[in-house]
Copies of this chain bind each other. A is one copy, B any other.
Amino acid sequence: MEKLEVLTKEKILEATEETLKRFGLTKTSVTDVANALDVSHGSIYRHFKSKAELFEGATEKWLDEKIIKPLTDVCKDSSMVGTQHLKTYIKTLIELKRCYAREDEELFKMYAKVTEESADLIHNHVSQITDQMSEIICRSSINVDDPHQLARTIFQATTRFHHPAHAYEWKSPTINSEFSNVWALIENGLS
């Protein structure tokens, strides 16, 4: 049997996710999360210094598990090379965001909210992605001065397809062909 009695950040974050799914982003209070754990809400503040920080923690965990982990697999995948690998990486990023916007609505809303409010956390998330893109670029035969800058530039040129502010546009039936066109233009520019 695990030590059920010790309250950890991880347990609080899990309870936060559950509570968000149950009550929704706007209806979830720190007290609700504490109730789900059968502790006083004061105990939460021993681990997170504000509600904002708690939600940032939950977003960080969510982004790590749902977005970064699968992307790391794509990054490590040695069966692909060059622009093909890079395209698959970006396409996976876009499809993951689109998938969770539909299928994990409340947690996606939390992520969208944190994106507007916590520049630091999102900057870090973007860095993780552009670092991996940069790695793929380095392993490729793409000739470029600054692989990391190229990664950031490609990330920015595809903003419409992965930034949560554009989630409402992802329902369009032409979205895939629009990405194809943007990618074709970028890929042309890489040679």
Residues of B within 8 A of A188 (CB): 188-190
Instruction: List A137-185 residues whose CB lies under 8 Å from chain B.
Output: 149-150, 152-154, 156-160, 163, 165-166, 168, 178, 181-182, 184-185
> Assembly of this chain: how many copies?
2
Which of B156, B160, B185 touches A189 (beta carbons < 8 Å)?
B185
A186 part of interface (Cβ distance < 8 Å): yes
Which of B160, B186, B189 touches A159 (beta carbons < 8 Å)?
B160
- Interface size bucket, A side? 20 to 34
User: Residues of A at under 8 Å CB distance from B?
Assistant: 116, 149-150, 152-154, 156-160, 163, 165-166, 168, 178, 181-182, 184-190
Residues of B within 8 A of A157 (CB): 157-158, 182, 185-186
CA distance A159 to B166 in the complex (A): 10
Q: Taking the nearest CB of chain B, how far is it from the CB of A129, in angstroms? A: 15
20 A-B interface contacts by CB (under 8 A):
A149-B181, A150-B185, A153-B178, A153-B182, A153-B185, A156-B160, A156-B182, A157-B185, A157-B186, A159-B159, A165-B165, A165-B166, A185-B189, A185-B190, A186-B186, A186-B189, A187-B189, A188-B188, A188-B189, A189-B189
B153→A181 contact, CB < 8 A:
yes
Q: Taking the nearest CB of chain B, how far is it from the CB of A187, in angstroms? A: 7
Which of B116, B156, B163 touches A178 (beta carbons < 8 Å)?
B156
